[in-house]
Structure 1
């Protein structure tokens, strides 16, 4: 055989093998949505007394669509054309609103429980954060384009709602509140951007730190001088390159910053420093509580586990580790390692293993790329995040969503596991090898949701879920949640072949 022929044959074998590994796993499992309306997203929504409500009913199906809402509390109204609920409620309590979505193909009804009290973020936030696509190089035009894409792609119809600006927006201090103002080279009108996002029926978030200087070398929430000016010195630059702890300044400007955030209309704050400690967390939490707006407070990064019991009482979400990357090693390290955090997860307070790494990503690189995760690994990623009831924050370019990525993000039965009102985090109920096992959780309706995971190398493996691992017995109906189809009735256990680095996600309900 000639050498060139040998090389060709080897290449053909390699390509055939690569295709075999990815062909089946690249299949879109999520069934296509029909034309009839389907109300998706959270079944419960928290708001504080007299704070403005911004809730867009997530409903898939053909437009135009008309919405109605019975039992709206005093002070609340519905836009029948857009499905946006707004207003404010003075009296604390729980209000069950009966929603209807109707179009020419039919109608769908569902209850929404509006809980007026101290807790917000009663289900994990779903949205987008710019960092995994733009790094610290973010502009107003880019955020605007992503907001429009979240709406036009239909993600908004499945509960995706937050557009969060990360590090890189900050300029100098000034204005009415002597607060951090945007870098005008990147953001020419922050108020207009917030208004634009809200007009789409979406919410918007921002970023800050109690340090003098952010990780992205921007103005922080404190300073070493009473004027609050931030000047990068050679000493600061050298320290930053060594990745030593940044300093919290002598003078804090938290009060003015919060007033400015509230005036702009932000709905989410990523608060970033290390080590994360109680005094700074509580000061920000209390300040946001008194701002007149409901602002989700998310702590980043590497929240110390030793103090999470206290920190979880004054934050809505907290990172359980460092920054994620779009590779299997980074993803795998976050899947069978989160159980110790589970006791602290509850409605309004969520563990956060970091953002999503599906779709087109790129951080600070000028040329972006599709996630390096295989399709199976992306199913594993989405399944694990939904089972663990953690925030779903996309880190991709939503203007470049392909059909496969969109199918990952619009499976209403999979997303319902994440948004379940019970707010339970799935834990490992069975290990069948170091990298093979089952995670499961209780659902509000009495059913169970589970993932049969094969995180190992070496091809497909058989994974078994025994009912005894769930504390139940008898006959149960097993449903494939990705394919949205019942697999049959099983007695005492269910077993499936699971692809390498893949998962089979199921729902389990008692047979009648």
Structure 2
């Protein structure tokens, strides 16, 4: 596998060893099926969300449509994962979309027809895949494409996913393990996949697996964003390797619509955000907003339980940290308020083009983040109250490197410009925030 490159003082990897074909020059933005449909999403639902994305969000930069886990299981439902379920595989042990859920996949077409329809809308197509090789392929000793080996020759029975029974691990001491991943990613390239969410990669950290997956993407000849999950207790000691082999990596477990989970992301993103940049995006996970839980595993059909103040704070942190933005709700069920939050171009500009993003200071439950626009003309300041009672947050013009006469606009508020002043004191509700754009007068 080789030794990961040493970082220079700015944290950039040696370009001679960085993964080629990166297509995530900015944080990916789009829709993912997990929060509302769990493992049971159907083709018609994917297309309905894609059409909404095209019609309402594409003009604002949202362009990914990602089918999450279990697309190869015909019996997938809300009950979680089914041990021993018969999966749809091709003759070489590679997952195929279940035709009863994805009718266009009939006759071996796989996801190619659905990806083509997504592309015709001007969108990008993504899918989820689990680390390893299907147990079913191992039991049937299915051949690995282009080799004399079978799935049984490369299976690792000791390093398996602890929460999903579909796969065994891969023995990366055996060359057939790389051959299997090469065949899998070649199939994804044939289908026209643009984004791969590879799961069970980071907890524990599977370095050989990540490198093999990255090599397979390169060998496929098609640029694909590689997003790694789930990120439990992910540490900065893996930064060099992550930058070398992936584009996006999760920094937490799944995020759901509860304030304590959002609260915990502030500390994590304070560690990771300074290391974000082109093709290297720490991911605070999907946005559990709008209507979620429709057929989620163990969930219920509901509107997000986060208050509007909490949703504003979530969006402000994700933007200031330049996390990918993957909406988890059912887009056709959106209300106007949620749509307004997702189409706030001043907010989205921070995600797309900002620098020096970092936590400026934290005093108890009062947190201040700062960043600048890519051209240096705008200074962004986010003030958060993470506490359960109202509180006032104060920033000084001098500490922000700005002048008292500069104009400030609350991106999440009225949008009316006012003078910054020498000191600005802002009352904040519980779990609330204010996000300023500061420009010279």
TM exceeding 0.5: yes
1:104-119 alignment to 2 at 5 Å?
118-119=21-22
Give secondary structure in 2 for the equivalent of 1:485: coil
1:75-90 alignment to 2 at 5 Å?
none
Alignment match, 1:276: 205
- The CA deviation at 1:472 is 4.5
Q: Answer yes or no: is the 8 Å Cα contact 1:429–1:470 preserved in 2.
A: no
Residue 303 of structure 2 corresponds to residue 373 of structure 1 = no
Q: Distance in 1 between matches of 2:306 and 2:136?
A: 35
- Of 92, 95, 108, 1:180 maps to 95
Q: Distance in 2 between matches of 1:360 and 1:387?
A: 25
- The CA deviation at 1:293 is 2.2
- The CA deviation at 1:484 is 6.0
Residue 35 of structure 2 corresponds to residue 129 of structure 1 = no
Deviates further, 289-298 or 355-364? 289-298
Q: Answer yes or no: is the 8 Å Cα contact 2:182–2:219 preserved in 1.
A: no
Alignment match, 1:287: 216
1:373-452 alignment to 2 at 5 Å?
373-420=306-353, 422-424=354-356, 426-432=357-363, 434-446=364-376, 447-452=378-383
Which structure shows the higher helix fraction? Answer: 2
Q: TM-score, normalised by structure 2?
A: 0.79
Alignment match, 2:193: 266
Q: Distance in 1 between matches of 2:420 and 2:241?
A: 43
Q: Answer yes or no: is the 8 Å Cα contact 1:347–1:423 preserved in 2.
A: no
Q: Distance in 2 between matches of 1:258 and 1:308?
A: 24
- The CA deviation at 1:482 is 2.1
Decide whether aligned partners of structure 1 residues 494 and 280 sit closer, same or farther in structure 2, where only a CA change above 3 A counts: same
Can you list the C-alpha shifts for 1:376-433, whole angstroms capped at 9, x where unaligned?
Answer: 111111111111101000000011000111011011111111111x454x3221223x
- Of 176, 180, 183, 1:256 maps to 183
Q: Answer yes or no: is the 8 Å Cα contact 1:376–1:503 preserved in 2.
A: yes
Alignment match, 1:209: 130
- The CA deviation at 1:145 is 1.6
1:44-193 alignment to 2 at 5 Å?
118-152=21-55, 154-170=56-72, 171-174=87-90, 179-188=94-103, 189=105, 190-193=111-114
- The CA deviation at 1:366 is 7.8
Alignment match, 1:82: none
Alignment match, 2:257: 326
Larger RCO, structure (CA 8 Å, separation 6 or more): 2
Alignment match, 1:55: none
Structural RMSD (CA): 2.8
Decide whether aligned partners of structure 1 residues 466 and 499 sit closer, same or farther in structure 2, where only a CA change above 3 A counts: same
Q: TM-score, normalised by structure 1?
A: 0.68
- The CA deviation at 1:487 is 3.3
Q: Answer yes or no: is the 8 Å Cα contact 2:93–2:142 preserved in 1.
A: no
- The CA deviation at 1:475 is 3.3
Decide whether aligned partners of structure 1 residues 285 and 151 sit closer, same or farther in structure 2, where only a CA change above 3 A counts: same
- The CA deviation at 1:322 is 0.7
Q: Distance in 2 between matches of 1:298 and 1:270?
A: 5
Residue 216 of structure 2 corresponds to residue 314 of structure 1 = no
1:472-511 alignment to 2 at 5 Å?
472-483=402-413, 485-511=415-441
Can you list the C-alpha shifts for 1:451-475, whole angstroms capped at 9, x where unaligned?
Answer: 11011002x2111122343344553
Q: Answer yes or no: is the 8 Å Cα contact 1:326–1:371 preserved in 2.
A: yes
Q: Distance in 2 between matches of 1:289 and 1:475?
A: 51
Q: Answer yes or no: is the 8 Å Cα contact 2:36–2:292 preserved in 1.
A: yes
Give secondary structure in 1 for the equivalent of 2:407: strand
- Number of matched pairs: 378
Give secondary structure in 2 for the equivalent of 1:180: coil
**Higher Cα radius of gyration:** 1
Can you list the C-alpha shifts for 1:436-458, whole angstroms capped at 9, x where unaligned?
Answer: 12111122121211111011002
Q: Which runs of 5+ in 1 are unaligned?
A: 1-116
Which structure shows the higher strand fraction? Answer: 1
Give secondary structure in 2 for the equivalent of 1:163: strand
Q: Distance in 2 between matches of 1:368 and 1:206?
A: 23
Q: Answer yes or no: is the 8 Å Cα contact 1:223–1:248 preserved in 2.
A: no
Q: Answer yes or no: is the 8 Å Cα contact 1:386–1:414 preserved in 2.
A: yes
Q: Answer yes or no: is the 8 Å Cα contact 1:133–1:364 preserved in 2.
A: no
Q: Which runs of 5+ in 2 are unaligned?
A: 1-19, 73-86, 106-110, 145-149
Q: Answer yes or no: is the 8 Å Cα contact 2:52–2:331 preserved in 1.
A: yes
- The CA deviation at 1:123 is 0.9
